[in-house]
Structure 1
Amino acid sequence: MTSAVGSINSGKHIRAVTMNAPPVNALTVQGWFDVANAITAAGNDPDCHVVILRAEGRGFNAGVDIKEIERSEGYAALIGANQGCAAAFSAVYDCRVPVIAAVNGYCLGGGIGLVGNADIVIASDDATFGLPEVDRGALGAATHLARLVPQHLMRALYYTASTITAQQLLHHGSVYRVVPRENLDEAALEVARAIAEKDTRVIRKAKEAINGIDPQPVHRSYRYEQGFTFELNLAGVSDGARQDFLARTKGANG
């Protein structure tokens, strides 16, 4: 299987990890672990001072590959997807250097987990963010959406499966810059260069210190959410929701 993730050196002390899983960047179980491994490896490289997490294609990330879950017997793919997402989200948060998320187009489901755990978010002016989980019989990443918007707005977005724009997140302070799509990579690199020129020994300790004073236990709270996804699956609720979603997607694609 070809990895859905690539790592390239984007300049002195800067590593770019690129998601590229056509057609919509919905990642398989292996794809989520690929993201986790690439980010962890970059952070463990002494020559890397900052990581940019970006994507090719129409959107940044469409979450979990639901088709893989539906093709799988039993719960193996579901468990794998949940473990893979937890690993990828944790890799971003625990990366020893700052992670900049450069978000283009749509950022949905697991994409919110990646962005919510990033240190800095740069977005294109066509970027939208949302958690469609309730429409797909699942729960998760409210932990990370709550890092992007205030509590009551998070609840409204979560319950309605609505999206929010990059410009709105800029207003809330969770997106650092919004730029035209063609300028996204350069905008992310501009911020990355400013970090990369610092003493990485100080920046790495700064990352560790900031995580240490974080009031939200992101690892534990996300795993708590995932437990309810398993409950919905065991109750048979999620199967119908996933099948309805795939049927709508097939109909929309002709």
Structure 2
Amino acid sequence: MTSPASQSDEILESSRRALRNVRMPPIGTKSMALRRAHFWGKVSKAALAVGAVLVGAGIVGAIIDGIGFWGVMITGLVGAAAAYVLLRYPQMPMPTTESLRQTDLGTLAGKTEIWLESQRPALPAPAVTVMQDIGIRLDQLAPQLQTLDDNDPAAREVRKLVGEHLPELINGYKRIPDSLKRKEHGGKTPEQQLLDGLKLIDREIETMTGQISRGELDKLAVRGRYLELKYDTDAAQ
């Protein structure tokens, strides 16, 4: 049974991780681009809504020969309310492990970065550092993905790496009780296994990026098989 002191330590550690995530910058430029696009999309909708309210008020005023003081006040309140609602909603949809498997190649890198950023509070500091490196790799991979068709074997291997292996690695670590994350199992602690797995994925993204840029798409299938065998070996330890 977990002691009160141990529970308090876990709560404090969780709070520190959450605070660290708020303070940390995005891990890549593609996630920033998606957030900017979502924000400016809402700004455009809000501007159109306010414009429609003003045009509507102008038409009513022309019909009834002016809307008067209260008409102006109501128009202002309706315009402000419309702008507030459209700037606040809808919130940007957060990627999930399921949606990453189906995300189009054009936004896969950015949405993977957003998903990784949301995982930072649950991860140890060394793993977060490696995730920053993965963000850089994803930025480098994104232009290469534009050259692929969704049905290309290379596209499937990339999607498998960042849409399956990466989330499975992190989610598997998160399912382990905090009290066991620093205890050795098979010669390594879960934290070290997570760190090693993230480093492996970081290297694989770099390798895939180079292979796609050089047109060596047939080699990606070999790399994908290697990664599957690597994970099977680690799971058996």
Relative to its length, the structure with more strand (as a share) is 1
Task: Tell me whether the two structures share a fold, i.e. TM-score over 0.5.
Answer: no
- Scaled by the length of structure 1, the TM-score of the pair is 0.27
Relative to its length, the structure with more helix (as a share) is 2
Rg larger in structure: 2
